[in-house]
Amino acid sequence: MVRLYLKYFAINIKSQMQYKTAFFLHLFGRIMLSFATVAGVWFMFLRFNRVEGFTLNQVLLCTAVTMMSYSITEVFARGFDIFPRLLGNGEFDRYLVRPRGVIYQVIATHMEFGRLGVFIQAVIVFCYAIPNSGIVWSPDKILTLFLMIICGAAVFSGLYIIFASFSFFTVEGLEFMNILTHGGKEFGRYPYAIYGEGILKFLTFIIPLALFQYYPLLYLIERESSPLYILTPLLSMFFLVPCYVFWKIGLRHYKSTGS
């Protein structure tokens, strides 16, 4: 399965390298766009030197985690993002007549490396924020940061899967999902707690974006010392269970209506 994934990976790269100019323009465009996001945070701190008690470098760490998680999702779970198209052109029917898992094929068939622009921007921000944040990078802290990024990508992928599951039923009005995906990414520039208690609760218990971002950040900057905070990102993985259930319901609907 891993070997096959690497095959898919190679064929995706080969496909996209057919249009090198378009690829690099796309990449460059994404870097510039995400630069605007980072600059926004920067300008905010020119006026206020703390936001809810977080310093600029702490917030930048948060920005980079969210950006990196989101860009991993954009690159590797792209198939769910364009899912209505796969249903429309019959590509999804092709997956159903092949002896491989359907989710696996959606993920493997569509990778979009142009979206690595945001990833590169996130790396740049990390390069600045990691040494300047004043955090002593012991192994537990490094593990925490790693879990934040990986689990973040999982939560965003879950949101993409929910979007795809809805598109089994309708293609109208799906834009509301953007509030959670793009909205989640944009608001995720800052620790989710600054938007108030209600929103933090929502982002903890319903759509667990705060579990990979805000709570482990508290551990990183030593506002919380309990090692349980290292594991909060892992809790967010439970979100994938309802996502999978949604997907199954959508798939069953599709197989009974074919549209």
Site residues, other proteins (CB under 8 A): 3-4, 7-8, 11, 14-16, 18-19, 89-91, 93-94, 96-100, 252, 255-259
98 or 248: CB nearest other proteins: 98
As a three-state string, the secondary structure of 110-157 is CCCHHHHHHHHHHHHHHHHHHHHCCCCCCHHHHHHHHHHHHHHHHHHH
Rounded least distance, CB 258 to other proteins, Å? 5
Cα–Cα distance, 125 to 69 (Å, whole number): 13
201 or 255: CB nearest other proteins: 255
Radius of gyration from C-alpha coordinates of the chain: 19
- If one counts every other C-beta atom within 10 angstroms of the C-beta of residue 67, the result is 26
Rounded least distance, CB 183 to other proteins, Å? 24
For residue 145, give both structure tokens: 């940061």
7 or 223: CB nearest other proteins: 7
**39-42-48 Cα angle (round to 5):** 145
Rounded least distance, CB 119 to other proteins, Å? 23
In sequence order, the 6+-apart residues with CB closer than 8 A to the CB of 17 are 23
Question: 84 in helix, strand or coil?
Answer: helix
Rounded least distance, CB 101 to other proteins, Å? 9
90 or 139: CB nearest other proteins: 90
11 or 179: CB nearest other proteins: 11
Rounded least distance, CB 257 to other proteins, Å? 6
